[in-house]
């Protein structure tokens, strides 16, 4: 039985759920989950949590993510990406100056508010937005905050082509960020309708391309009886959390769910490890008992 995280390099044309279903069949276990949905057209890092690692899906989901994408000026679409139907068109006759693009991206760095696209999996009144969109029903969407840590220009076309102008960007952001919407917002700051032409997730939960396996590689490892070669330990999911180390005696007590004194902790949520380095649990402040921290997730 596998217990750990498999960073998968997702190909285009499949949903994140498709990847989970395929992994369950390949690994012969129902205990598989993913840590952050990628749109079908998006490629890149999709960490799959297997076995006991399904307990840490939320921690991986909380970790920052990074992308490389191509934003195209000149047209917006129903889906805010290249798959949608045109909504507004304004041909680009002269390319914006590099400094102007950089200023637009800088203006969108920090805390931003976003309205999820109608073609997204956000639920409103018990239904996903894309279900309403497919029926042509417009509903009020919740406004969300996202953190954009880094939004910078990587390259740009030499000149507009057929009324469109594209530039490549790097985005590092918090969970729940809609990079499609960020592309549209960047276009607005430049005075043009825009959409996200292409997107690749280059980092998620501390995993990058160098850690990831393609389906072909994973299937080959399973066929050779070496699936563990693609697996990373559960610890990776909480590496971004501050941690404390406890004695082996306390570690034994933690295995039975012991609460711990608040003075041991410097943050609201922290990982707890034994002197041996073994990850034991994630603890959080008790909601009803001041001065006490309780296990949030047991990882023994």
Residues designated as active site: 39
CA-CA distances (angstroms) from residue 5 to 25, 57, 60, 135? 16, 9, 10, 37
Report the C-alpha gap between 33 and 212 in whole angstroms. Answer: 16
CA of 247: how far to CAs of 16, 77, 259, in Å? 40, 57, 14
- d(CA 217, CA 25) in angstroms, rounded, equals 16
The set of residues, in sequence order, having a beta carbon less than 8 Å from that of 150 and lying 6+ positions away, is 66, 109, 170, 171, 172
Cα separation of 65 and 78, whole Å? 25
């Amino acid at each position: 039985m596998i217990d750990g995280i498999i960073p998968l390099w997702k190909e285009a044309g499949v949903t994140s759920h498709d990847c989970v279903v395929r992994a369950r069949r390949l690994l012969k276990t129902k205990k598989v989950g993913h840590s952050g949905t990628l749109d079908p057209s998006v490629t890149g890092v999709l960490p799959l949590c297997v076995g006991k690692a399904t307990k840490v899906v939320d921690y991986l989901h909380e970790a920052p993510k990074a992308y490389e994408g191509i934003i195209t000026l000149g047209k917006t679409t129903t889906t805010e990406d290249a798959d949608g139907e045109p909504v507004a068109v304004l041909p680009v006759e002269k390319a914006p100056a590099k400094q102007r693009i950089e200023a637009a991206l800088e203006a969108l760095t920090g805390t931003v508010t976003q309205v999820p696209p109608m073609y997204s999996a956000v639920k409103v009144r018990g239904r996903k937005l894309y279900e309403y969109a497919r029926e042509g029903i417009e509903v009020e969407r919740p406004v969300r905050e996202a953190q954009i840590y880094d939004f910078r220009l990587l390259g740009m076309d030499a000149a507009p082509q057929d009324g469109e102008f594209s530039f490549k960007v790097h985005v590092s952001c918090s969970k729940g960020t809609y990079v499609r919407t960020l592309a549209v917002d960047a276009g607005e700051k430049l005075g043009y309708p825009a959409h996200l032409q292409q997107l690749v997730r280059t980092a998620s939960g501390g995993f990058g391309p160098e850690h990831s396996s393609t389906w072909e590689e994973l299937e080959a490892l399973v066929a050779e009886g070496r699936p563990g070669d693609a697996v990373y330990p559960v610890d990776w999911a909480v590496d971004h959390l501050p941690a404390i180390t406890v004695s082996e005696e306390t570690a034994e007590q933690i295995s039975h769910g012991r609460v711990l004194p608040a003075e041991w902790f410097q943050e609201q949520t922290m990982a707890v490890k034994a002197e041996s380095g073994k990850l034991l649990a994630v603890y959080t402040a008790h909601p009803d008992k001041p001065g006490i921290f309780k296990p949030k997730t047991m990882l023994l």
